[in-house]
Amino acid sequence: MSVAVKHVDAFHRSLSGIDPEAARILEGDLRRQRGNAVLIPSENYASPAVLAAQGSVMTNKYAEGYPGSRYYNGCEWMDAIESLVIERTKALFNAEHVNAQTHSGSQANVAAFQALLEPGDRILSMQLSHGGHLSHGLAQNIAGKLYDVAFYGVEEETGRIDLNKVADLAESHRPRLIIVGGSAYPRLIDFAPWREIADSVGAHLLADIAHIAGLIAGGVHPSPFGHADVVTTTTHKTLRGPRGALVMCRADLASAIDRAVFPGLQGGPFMHAMAARAVNLKEAMEPSFKEYAAQVVKNAAALADGLLSAGFELVSGGTDNHLMLVDLRKRPFSGKRAADRLEEAGIIVNRNSIPNDPRSPFVTSGLRPGSPALTTRGMGESEMRFIAERMAAAVKQSTGEKGRAAIRAEVKELCARFPIYPDISYLS
Ligand SMILES: *Cc1c(COP(=O)(O)O)cnc(C)c1O
């Protein structure tokens, strides 16, 4: 058993003596994580080392400011850990400047907007229902309130972005910022033409790689570095780290980005998350992470093939990355109904709007399955095909409660063969 596992295990066991109520809840979710097949493409399993670092003494320190210029005393080790994160991030992504303090992907985007825009400025971004993200300008989001947002989308026929149309929209709207990257786009993004479009109208280019950061780090997806002015990402999706985010940018934007994060948006950084980020980045630099990223893509392709063979339709007909969008418009049930039936069968997947969805964003006509979490458990292509078949059976009305319980037993057995956190013991 590794030292990190022992640490997390000991923590779980000691918590049950201190706060049995909270411990019981943690144990409940450990059981859920172990016993279900998680296909939510934005979720993953951080390593025990990341969990241990996140649960470390670094939670106790205020460190407003940046390494070498803090507003609090006693920051020697805070400077050390943040500098380590910055250096590792630069090396991993080939980034010129890194701000490692934002608490989440949405905040990383707000920081980028604060650095690049004035209120009222225009943004061109991908429509949420076509695969964008709420932080890119949804009316109810701060971005939608502060800025004048125009949207591009995907083509109904192909499910893909037509770059000529984006160029036309840029020409007619003259945005100050173009955002590329989303949360439900199953195809590769080549960032070079986006740079050309941005340059053609004098706009900044923001690449939001929250979903694909691990694929880029692993060398199986094109990189935005060298093309985008600012790159934002979460650290907890395909990158497989602690919850949090990074803002990366060209050297000349460094101080604008840093001031936008602190004091523009946040007070003290979460230094326990910083410690966990350091450990995660080291993991992402190992050769085994490249293998992981490659397997994520292979597994997504196998899952997509399996779903197509089982009769599902996929937006754009498949996937190049870690996720796919199932189009349920021709089915007699919604995304919500399908996701609830799948949960009964031990398969956790999120419903998702699809382009031109006739149903509301709360109900939807789509599902967004992906492979990152199952790949972390060690599953491969044959397991993906198995899961695709069981998904097809589980969503059918005729399968019924009994049928879904039977599938749940099979999925549980599969999960037991690919255990996650096997050495963290249960409390009871
Ligand atoms: C997940 C995601 C975010 C936001 O991340 P949070 O940490 O949930 O705020 C931002 N942009 C994209 C494209 C995402 O997929």
pLDDT over 60 at 428, yes or no:
no
How far apart (Å, rounded) are the C-alpha atoms in residues 44 and 422? 16
Q: Which of 183, 215, 265, 368 to mutate to test the pocket of ligand 1 (most atoms within 8 A of CB)?
A: 183
pLDDT at 241: 98
Contact in structure between 174 and 122 (CB atoms under 8 Å): yes
- The more confident residue out of 12 and 348 is 348
157: annotated active-site residue = no
Q: In this predicted structure, what is the pLDDT of residue 7? A: 74
> CA nearest 10: which of 427, 307, 300, 367?
427
In the set 27, 208, 327, 383, the catalytic residue is: 208
Percent of the chain with pLDDT over 90: 93
Handedness of CA 139, 143, 148, 152 (dihedral sign): negative
238 a catalytic residue: no
Q: pLDDT band for position 97 (50/70/90)? A: very high
Q: Are 346 and 407 in contact (CB under 8 A)?
A: yes
What the block records as the tokens of 142 is 């701060």
Give the 3-state secondary structure of the chain: CCHHHHHHHHHHHHHHHHCHHHHHHHHHHHHHHHHCEECCCCCCCCCHHHHHHHCCHHHHCCCCEECCEECCCCCHHHHHHHHHHHHHHHHHHCCCEEECCCCCHHHHHHHHHHHHCCCCCEEEEECHHHCCCHHHCCCCCHHHHHCEEEEECCCCCCCCCCHHHHHHHHHHHCCCEEEECCCCCCCCCCCHHHHHHHHHHCCEEEEECCCCHHHHHCCCCCCCCCCCCEEEEECCCCCCCCCCEEEEECHHHHHHHHHHHCCCCCCCCCHHHHHHHHHHHHHHCCHHHHHHHHHHHHHHHHHHHHHHHCCCEEHHHCCCCCECCEECCCCCCCHHHHHHHHHHCCEECCECCCCCCCCCCCCCCEECCECHHHHHCCCCHHHHHHHHHHHHHHHCHHHHHHHHHHHHHHHHHHHHHCCCCCCCCCCC
Atom 3, ligand 1: residue with shortest CA distance: 105
Q: Give the C-alpha separation, 260 to 239, whole Å.
A: 24
pTM to 2 decimals? Answer: 0.96
The finding on whether 183 has its CB within 6 A of some atom of ligand 1 is yes
Question: What does the pLDDT look like over 40-68, one tens digit per residue?
Answer: 999 999 999 999 999 999 999 999 999 99
Q: For 313, left (φ over 0), alpha (ψ -120 to 50), or beta? A: beta
Contact 272, 246 (CB under 8 A): no
Whether 104 lines ligand 1, by a CB cut-off of 6 Å, is: yes
Per-residue pLDDT at 290 exceeds 80: yes
Contact 213 CB / ligand 1 (< 6 Å): no
Phi/psi at 238 (nearest 5 deg)?
A: -65, -20
Could you tell me if 333 and 395 are in contact, meaning their C-beta atoms sit under 8 angstroms apart?
yes
Kindly state the average pLDDT of the residues 204-211: 98
Q: What pLDDT is recorded for position 191?
A: 98
| Predicted confidence (pLDDT) per residue in 330-340, tens digit | 999 999 999 99
Mean pLDDT for 66-93 is 98
Nearest residue (CA) to ligand 1, atom 1: 210
Burial of 22 (0-12, 13-18, 19+ CB in 10 A): exposed
Active-site residue 396, yes or no? no
Among the listed residues 43, 62, 250, 410, the single catalytic one is: 62
Would you say the CB of residue 319 lies under 6 angstroms from ligand 1? no
**Mean pLDDT computed over 222-244:** 98
Per-residue confidence band for 8, with pLDDT thresholds at 50, 70 and 90: confident
Q: What is the mean pLDDT of residues 94-123?
A: 98
Amino acid occupying residue 242: P
Question: Which of 70, 187, 237, 377 is the catalytic position?
Answer: 237
Q: What is the crossing angle of helices 400-417 and 381-395, to 10°? A: 160
Q: Cα dihedral angle (154, 203, 102, 26), rounded to 10 degrees?
A: 0
- Model confidence at 426: pLDDT above 70: no
The ligand 1 atom nearest the CA atom of 106: 9
Closest CA to 163 of 138, 185, 180: 180
For ligand 1, the distance from its centroid to the CA atom of residue 53, given in whole angstroms, is: 23
Among this protein's residues, is 426 annotated catalytic? Answer: no
The reported pLDDT for the residue numbered 1 is 60
- Phi, psi (rounded to 5 degrees) for 380: -125, -165
Helix axes 381-395, 335-344, angle to 10 degrees: 110
Q: What is the pLDDT of residue 46?
A: 97
The number of angstroms, rounded, from the C-alpha of 235 to the middle of its chain's C-alpha atoms is 7
User: In whole angstroms, what is the distance from residue 362 CA to residue 366 CA?
Assistant: 11
Query: Distance from the CA of 209 to the center of ligand 1, in angstroms?
Result: 9
Establish whether 64 is a catalytic residue: yes
To test the pocket of ligand 1, the residue of 102, 234, 323, 325 to mutate (highest count of ligand atoms within 8 Å of its CB) is 234
Catalytic annotation present for 234: yes
Mean pLDDT of the chain: 96
Output the pLDDT for position 5.
76
